[in-house]
Amino acid sequence: MSDLKVRLLNHTKNPDRICAAAAQSCYSEQGAGELFDGTTDERAKKMIKKVVGMGHLSVVEHAHFTFSVEGVSRSLTHQLVRHRIASYSQQSQRYVGMSKAEYVFPPSIAGDPEARKAFSEAMDNAWKAYRLLAKTVPKEDARYVLPNACQTNITVTMNARELWHLFSLRCCRRAQWEIRMMAWKMLSEAKEAAPILFEDAGPPCFRGPCPEGDYSCGKPYKKGVLPSEEELMVESAKPTD
């Protein structure tokens, strides 16, 4: 199973008001500094909804969020770094020894005795080979035998616009199970820090019709309701087509 942990380490101070002031400054003779001082949560919500609804998403790029994502697979991070408007710092397999067998066990495999046996044997063999190689060759070469399931940690910094994009793609039931769980955890943390910026963030079905067409799961999430971890674990055992 996954030991996935997500923690919001830091973020732009007053992110909702910062973005609202930036948006207002485009239409005002006043600078963002003066507008920021006079911006209430109610005014920020009204302004952000207006400009985001008009497609002026650049104004939410002024808010940045840094997350620690731990206990995830290299399979997940290979997907995550496709979100290119971000900064990443990942645990190095070159400098950090991987002699302890720590890997992510997909729930769909864990629930099938035959698949679980085959998967466990493959992991055991991979780490046996790694430990043997690491005795005579550099870790940077021994790591070549390690699987995508190998656990890793990564630090992620994104602006609010890129987070919106990530949540739209990765909170969807069509997303791969592990990165979907990570995205929902990140969204929960982001909503707590910036409730106005992320009020409508999440899968596209939060905001309207599903864009997946024939590939739609047919089971839209209830708008604004974040699924529990138990619900996500049940979903994760049922891979997407």
Tens digit of pLDDT at every position of the chain (241 positions): 568 999 999 999 999 999 999 999 988 888 888 889 988 888 899 999 888 888 888 999 999 999 999 999 999 999 999 999 999 999 999 999 999 999 999 999 998 999 999 999 999 999 999 999 999 999 999 999 999 999 999 999 999 999 999 999 999 999 999 999 999 999 999 999 999 999 999 999 998 899 988 888 888 888 888 888 888 877 776 655 5
CATH class name, domain 5-89+151-236: alpha beta
Model pLDDT, residue 96: 94
Tokens representing 88 are 């990443």
Give the closest residue to 175 by CA, choosing from 200, 212, 208, 147. Answer: 212
Model pLDDT, residue 199: 92
- Start-end of CATH 3.30.1360.170 domains in the chain: 5-89+151-236
Tokens representing 143 are 């790591």
Tokens representing 173 are 């039931």
Model pLDDT, residue 238: 65
- Under a CB-based contact definition with an 8 Å cutoff, are residues 110 and 116 in contact? yes
pLDDT of 150-188, one tens digit each?
Answer: 999 999 999 999 999 999 999 999 999 999 999 999 999
Model pLDDT, residue 1: 58
The Cα 53–Cα 48 span in angstroms is 8
The Cα 183–Cα 176 span in angstroms is 11
Model pLDDT, residue 19: 95
Model pLDDT, residue 237: 67
At 37, is the secondary structure helix, strand, or coil?
A: helix
pLDDT of 185-211, one tens digit each?
Answer: 999 999 999 999 999 999 999 988 999
The Cα 13–Cα 41 span in angstroms is 14
Strand order, beta sheet including 64-73: 5-11, 64-73, 151-159, 87-90
Give the closest residue to 23 by CA, choosing from 10, 32, 14, 12. Answer: 32
Model pLDDT, residue 235: 76
What b/e readout covers 178-195, taking b as 16+ CB neighbours within 10 angstroms? bbbbbbbbbbebbbebbe
* Other C-beta atoms lying within 10 Å of the C-beta of residue 73: 22
Catalytic residue among 143, 161, 170, 173: 170
Whole-model pTM: value is 0.92
Is 17 designated active site?
no
